[in-house]
Structure 1
């Protein structure tokens, strides 16, 4: 079943997934597709198979910073759908991919009828809050290089070693100046950890990248394993 390419849906028992599969539709989403605007009602819920969803806080002055990253380990829109709430962030496809989509109303009905499904969604919401809190601490305490390496490791887990990313986009996601990203990318490339050309980054040495990354990525992995009682490495 294609929906099992998402880790959360794959955790459901066959009987539970069968009950909701008729309401799920697999669709492709392109890089830059907007899934929600700040303060807009959530109409659909997305379970990624591939690609990455990015939650971005926008400021009045035009600035923006990523606060959460969602891949095939998670879901966007479920907690809002359960309580008929709005999105607090601008939410966009950071990397293109396929997702299982369900309407918010149908997801809420399924969660009300199936306690195991609701419990899974609540657990992921707890993990995502932990990820956002870790990101806030990381942005305040760690160097641009350490944060960049952490960010690249997370991207690798969700999208592989070849990443279509401009330095402008990376700078915006991290809330830093483009010149800072250019400097760090040059250092990493000189050290043989990455190659960078025309908006494409290739990760060459994950061990070295991991050595220069802050501890936040491993902490996020630990949160996931504790919440889901999982030994899975891909988080």
Structure 2
């Protein structure tokens, strides 16, 4: 398995889940959970990128987190809760495993080590969300785009990222023209190559230096609590 959480489970915990895990395709725009609706399954991706969206009563949305092969979703499942006011869907297609929440919740109740690992993952999501808010408030869109591309790269095998302008605009909470302009800036520095529906990372080290303190704190917290993301 290529899911980080499943790989890090104690052998006994993994065996407890294996008989209930079902392989699942995760196509782009597949909805994993709707706001305030009971959720039957939790998902452990092995590839692809998902988005966690906050939704206002009037239907306005903003992206508050992403996840991929390093984690799982929906985040409320980490607390044995079957609903939350978030929408969760796939931004980049992939595959993975799903499990009925009744089986996941029973396993969490019976295993302290599983609860500890998933609680640590929950902490990394809290930190990611907090620093997304901070970065959106304090950094230029070019630096924020560099951070977003690094975050997607962390969750992708290889240097080619399947990202659309709409996805990046949602991550940055800006309009598509701002994404186009920022991509041109990063291309001009030769950090990336941008093509339709795809960005290739040419120089990750330089891209990370350009992002500055917009990137790194949430990632260090993940490493401290769980281990390497890539």
Q: TM-score, normalised by structure 1?
A: 0.90
The answer on 1:149 being equivalent to 2:146 is yes
Which residue in 1 is equivalent to 2:80? Answer: 83
C-alpha RMSD of matched pairs (Å) = 1.8
The answer on 1:139 being equivalent to 2:140 is no
Gaps of 5+ in 2: none
Which residue in 2 is equivalent to 1:177? Answer: 175
Which residue in 1 is equivalent to 2:223? Answer: 225
How far off is 1:223 after superposition? 1.0
The answer on 1:46 being equivalent to 2:32 is no
Aligned partners of 2:143 and 2:214 also within 8 Å: no
Q: 2:10, 2:170 → 1: CA distance? A: 40
Which residue in 1 is equivalent to 2:160? Answer: 162
Gaps of 5+ in 1: none
Which residue in 2 is equivalent to 1:93? Answer: 90
Which residue in 1 is equivalent to 2:8? Answer: 11
Which residue in 1 is equivalent to 2:119? Answer: 122
The answer on 1:202 being equivalent to 2:200 is yes
- The count of corresponding residues between Structure 1 and Structure 2 is 229
Q: TM-score, normalised by structure 2?
A: 0.91
Aligned partners of 2:91 and 2:167 also within 8 Å: no
1:139-196 per-residue CA deviation (whole Å, 9 max, x = no partner) reads: 1111101110000011111123212222233112311122211111111122222222
1:46-82 per-residue CA deviation (whole Å, 9 max, x = no partner) reads: 1111111111223456543221111111111254364
Q: 1:138, 1:81 → 2: CA distance? A: 26
Q: 1:207, 1:161 → 2: CA distance? A: 13
Aligned partners of 2:150 and 2:208 also within 8 Å: yes
Aligned partners of 1:37 and 1:89 also within 8 Å: yes
Q: 3-state DSSP class of the match of 1:38? A: coil
Which residue in 1 is equivalent to 2:191? Answer: 193
Q: 2:8, 2:81 → 1: CA distance? A: 25
Structure 1 residues 61-70 or 135-144, which shifts more?
A: 61-70
In structure 2, relative to structure 1, the CA distance for the partners of 1:111 and 1:95 (3 Å cut) is same
